[in-house]
Amino acid sequence: MALVPYDETVLNGLKRFHNSSASYTFANHTIQIKQNWKELGVAAVVWDAAIVLCMYLEAGGINLNGRSVIELGAGTGLVGIVAALLGAEVTVTDREVALEFLNTNVHDNVPEDLLPKVSVKPLTWGKGLEDFSPFDVIVGADIIYLEETFQDLLNTILHLGTENTVILLSCKLRYQRDHHFLDMMKQHFSVVEVLYDQKVDVHIYKAMKICHGKEL
């Protein structure tokens, strides 16, 4: 009898993180993502939330064509790459430490003719926000997980959006504290669940700024 109970899907998920690359097909393109769990950890593997968000975008969940999009906590950049393939002008961001790796994946996968519409920039939530103007769309996959970053993440989303900005957060809600972030969001945004993928336990929430006083 196994002393440590295990769930095969969890083990397969962990094994997947140790692969040096992962391949996906979105928007009629094969995307080959480099991974490096050993050296860069969470920022250098593709999380289920990113895959589910890409499927949602590819299915036309929202129209991205010609819209300005910023991806927060992009990791390998899969979501930003797919947004670019779907016609968006994309700013892909993460912490400085993850940037070189992110840049490589973006440049390996975005076709040359679309590259002028894609930029990779450092953005640590809550810092240097004055360097960024509002976007049409803000996307983030699996970025609700560190309680100490919640206020900075919220401030970042508040800074990057207007009342017309659509925010899409794809997440696995692992702990009660993750729900707390959604409660923080609800103080400023109307938040609606637009998709739940039961197989991988990923939710996608769409949020828009509450426009106080518009009805006056």
Q: Which chain residues interact with ligand SAM by CB under 6 A?
A: 42-43, 46-47, 49-50, 73-76, 94-95, 98, 124-125, 141-143, 146, 149
CA atoms lying within 13 Å on the CB side of residue 41: 3
Cα angle 204, 60, 145 (rounded to 5 degrees) comes to 20
Q: How far is the CB of 167 from ligand SAM (least distance, A)?
A: 14
CA atoms lying within 13 Å on the CB side of residue 203: 14
Q: How far apart are alpha carbons 139 and 44 in whole angstroms?
A: 18
Q: Which residue has the tokens 């939710």?
A: 203
> Which residues are paired to 195 by β-bridges?
204
Q: How far is the CB of 7 from ligand SAM (least distance, A)?
A: 20
Of 80 and 189, which has the nearer Cβ to ligand SAM? 80
Of 113 and 156, which has the nearer Cβ to ligand SAM? 156
- Amino acid 126 reads G
Of 164 and 180, which has the nearer Cβ to ligand SAM? 180
Of 166 and 169, which has the nearer Cβ to ligand SAM? 169
Q: How far is the CB of 104 from ligand SAM (least distance, A)?
A: 14
Q: How far is the CB of 56 from ligand SAM (least distance, A)?
A: 13
